[in-house]
Amino acid sequence: MAVPLDQNIAGEQCAITTYRGLRDAAKDHDMATYNEALTILEQEVEHDEDLQSLRESLDLMVERDSK
């Protein structure tokens, strides 16, 4: 379960980088694109935080079960 979770985290981090770039590129030129990229970026950050929390919980469970 850890490997797919880590892959999802990496995917979210890639998406965050992509949408930050899009947001920054559109900032002074296209407010509609800027706002859409900002909205999606916020969602991707939330997804990443959720997955990171799940990963931490999984690590704690594995650690507890190994004792």
Q: Does any domain span residue 10?
A: yes
pLDDT band at 66 (very low <50, low <70, confident <90, very high): confident
Q: Does any domain span residue 67?
A: no
- Let me know: does 51 contact 5? Beta carbons within 8 Å: yes
Q: Does any domain span residue 66?
A: no
- CA atoms within 13 Å, Cβ hemisphere of 32: 0
Residue-level pLDDT at 49: 98
Mean pLDDT of the chain: 96
Does the structure show a pLDDT above 90 at 48? yes
What pTM value is reported for the model? 0.89
Q: Work out how many domains the chain is built from and give that number.
A: 1
Range of the domain at 30: 2-61
Residue-level pLDDT at 3: 92
Q: Does any domain span residue 45?
A: yes
pLDDT band at 7 (very low <50, low <70, confident <90, very high): very high
